[in-house]
Structure 1
Amino acid sequence: MTAQVIVLAGPSGSGKSRLCRRLGLPFVNLDDFYKDGDDPGLPHLSLPGGEVIVDWDDPASWLCEEAADALETLCRTGAADVPVYEIARNGRTGHRTVDIGDALYVVAEGIFAQEVVASCRGRGILAAAICVRNHPMLTFWRRLTRDLRERRKPPHVLVRRGWLLMRQEPRIVAHAVALGCDPMTPDEAYDRVRVLTGARV
């Protein structure tokens, strides 16, 4: 075993990617393990107003075991092939190799990151599991501005979906905690990882 996984879960827009850049550790964006948009097993939901869309916030839209397998390969060999997913295109557009060199830790972040906690623990590769959280209104605003900037979906879908996610945020955090994550702000998470890694970050 060459490395261990630090799981960063949390609602979309809570600051997980920003925290990864701040930490400076190798990381894997678990959102790249979404199913393609034409997968017949994708879940759906109805937005306020009645429009039906794919529920990209349901773990059933995501490939948990494939993500866990890639993390184990990365920890055991130091490198792994992972998909590249474009949300605006609803599908994979390629793949890339993640190489962590001689790093002792790799961060796995994404809105479904909590779903790999049990598998990583069972495989002996889990170092820590954290759920990044902020005030729901702050998360809503950050998520909306990011999604509009990246043109992930039509604006009316982003606003309606974002409002729904804001109302669900306490439940999302509680679910991550139930699966073994410790809830904390981005600054608290940063300090926790510094202690865990011996201030290597």
Structure 2
Amino acid sequence: MDVVPKQHSPLILLGGASGSGKSYLAHRFGHPHVELDNFYREISEHTPETPLPQTGYGEIDWDHPGTWNCSLAVDAIIELLESGATQVPNYSISTSSYDSMRGIELNGGPLLAEGIFVSEILAPLQRLGVPVEAYYIDVSPASTAARRFVRDVRERRKPLLFLLKRGYALFRADRDIRARHLAAGFSPVRKKALKAMLAAATA
């Protein structure tokens, strides 16, 4: 059965490499904004019996969709659209764990959802009949890498050596990240054009 939103709140998914500006645009134009990165799995789930994906250098690969709880994210968005409210975890990147929960309510839209695994959520939502628009923020890999590194160091997200290794790996993977989003059904849009589009939607 198709999901019928409680209010007129179009759902817009914003995709892009880490550091491309997804959070900035969603914070500015989303009413409300769902941070899908809050649905990361906790480090406590990484056990010998149920290991999380790992990088080639022996760290948990937090850029692998296996470290993210897609079904929980889908359930939260569906509940938000159907009932007008939901609870989402507050995920601490520095500790890789939840530290609390917080409520989100619809307030007229547009409803924006973004995160590095947002491409994983489009197909499940479409299968449930959710009306959704999906855009990929097209920016240069070099500028994205610079913004990402400055942000991650400023916010002390992970140890510096880890950030350097991850940053280099993501820079090399930028083309593949873009291709994955486009294959999932996202439309590539330059940031300036997307910003104008979102501004018009909230005017």
TM-score of the superposed pair, with normalisation by structure 1: 0.91
**1:184 and 2:202 equivalent?**
no
CA distance in 2 between partners of 1:77 and 1:105 (Å):
16
Matches of residues 128-167 of structure 1 in structure 2 within 5 Å? 128-167=133-172
2 CA distance for matches of 1:104 and 1:152? Answer: 30
Give the alignment partner of residue 17 of structure 1, picking from 20, 23, 28: 23
Q: Please list the CA deviations of residues 166-193 of structure 1 after superposition, one character each: whole Å capped at 9, or x if unmatched.
A: 0100100100110010112222222333
1:7 maps to: 13
SS in 2 for 1:131: strand
2:80 aligned partner: 74
Contact 1:20 1:107 in 2 (8 A): yes
Q: How far, CA to CA, are the matches of 2:173 and 2:17 in structure 1? A: 9
d(CA) in 1 for partners of 2:87, 2:183: 30
Q: How large is the Cα RMSD of the aligned pairs?
A: 1.4
The Cα shift of 1:119 comes to: 1.4
The answer to whether the 8 A contact 2:30-2:111 is kept is: no
State the shift of 1:77 in Å: 1.2
TM-score by length of 2: 0.90
- Which residue of structure 1 aligns with residue 177 of structure 2? 172
Is the 1:140–1:162 Cα contact (8 Å) retained in structure 2? yes
Offset of residue 194 of structure 1: 4.3
Map residues 96-111 of structure 1 onto 2, 5 A cutoff.
Answer: 96-101=102-107, 103-111=108-116
Distance 1:45 1:127 in 2: 33
- Tell me if structure 1 keeps the 8 A contact 2:17–2:116: yes
Instruction: Report the equivalent of 2:52.
Output: 42
- The code of the aligned residue for 2:32 comes to P
Give the % identical residues: 35
Misfit runs of 4+, over 6 Å = none
Aligned residues: 193
